[in-house]
Amino acid sequence: MLRRSFSLCMFGLVAIVAACDNLTGGTAKNGTPVGIVLMNSRTKGAGYTTYPKVNFYNLASATFAFSNVNTDSCVAGAYDSTAANGTTTAPQVGAGTFMLSTVSGRTDSLYKATTGDQTYHPTPLSGISYNPGDSITFQIAGDFAGFPQLTTAAATAEPFVIVRPTIPTAGNPMLISWTPAVRSGEAMYVALLYNQGGGTALNRQLFCNFADDGQGAVQASLISELTSSIVPFVMKAQRVQTALRTPSSTLAYLNIISTFEVPTPVSP
């Protein structure tokens, strides 16, 4: 049986845990087809590109990503710059030789890798030129033995500007402000990286998930660690927009996860 979870694992920014494995493999022949789309924004000159990566699995269970945040919260934890998301051992399936994506007035093919993990992605490493915040459409041809045919659209994460916060006086929360989302259904994740224990390495973080209304607050009880850091804190922020789509005729799920990060990565 497939289960649905309303927790969001971070993709690309900073995770409060060292690893995140969102999928668990199912060996039963009647497992459920699940597709995962990951796409982030990257700067390219005065514009942006994105490089969608799509994988399809046959699963007995899955944890889907949702970007709805009902309550703001911040936690302190270890930070490891070398940590990576956990690997997925679930059996992969196909969805056709290639699929199409249409965004910002252009259509591109995402081809399935012939070796390795069968990821569908654009051929050029520079990816696809687009306007963050635009809607993107995916056309999946489908595979009788894998993921079914599906054409669906979803919004991409909007660009934003965030103000570096100042450390408040003792006993007061830290306020963080950014450009609020125009539409609902987006979340803002902020990580403040700092040092604890001496030296200059960034080894701790305050990690916050906020409703995307333009302002959040780090509780005063967490600020003391930040003020003791030998080096100035580093801030990273990520807006996340998700969608969960299902074909009308077959039990299957496509989880589309779009992000916009500050600082924004540079496109090849």
pLDDT at 83 over 50: yes
Share of the chain above pLDDT 90, in %: 69
For residues 91, 95, 97, 101, the Cα torsion angle rounded to the nearest 10 degrees is -120
Beta bridge partners, 189, equal: 209, 238
CA gap 219, 75 in Å, rounded: 9
- Cis peptide leading into residue 263 (ω within 30°): yes
Q: What is the DSSP letter of 114?
A: S
- Would you state the pLDDT for residue 71? 84
Q: How far is CA 100 from CA 44, 95, 127, 155, 249, in A?
A: 22, 11, 13, 16, 20
Confidence band, pLDDT 50/70/90 cuts, at residue 25: very low
CA gap 162, 266 in Å, rounded: 18
Residues 141, 142, 144: CA angle, nearest 5 degrees: 140
DSSP 243-261: EEE--SSS--EEEEEEEEE
Instruction: Report which of 4, 10, 135, 21 is spatially closest to residue 79, judged by C-alpha positions.
Output: 10
Residue with more model confidence, 145 or 21: 145
- Would you state the pLDDT for residue 206? 95
CA atoms within 13 A on the CB side of 62: 21
CA gap 195, 232 in Å, rounded: 8
CA gap 211, 214 in Å, rounded: 8
Average pLDDT over residues 225-234: 92
Residue with more model confidence, 103 or 70: 103
Residue with more model confidence, 72 or 13: 72
Threshold 0.85, pTM exceeds: yes
Asked if residues 57 and 34 have their Cβ atoms less than 8 Å apart, the reply is yes
pLDDT at 20 over 50: no
pLDDT at 113 over 50: yes
pLDDT at 23 over 60: no
pLDDT in tens, 166-194: 999 999 999 999 999 998 889 999 999 99
pLDDT at 227 over 70: yes
- Would you state the pLDDT for residue 85? 60
Using DSSP, state whether 34 is helix, strand or coil: strand
The dihedral built from the CA positions of residue 54, 55, 56 and 60, taken in this order, carries a sign that is negative
- Would you state the pLDDT for residue 98? 95
Q: Which two tokens stand for residue 114?
A: 């012939």
Q: Which two tokens stand for residue 6?
A: 């309303």
pLDDT at 5 over 70: no
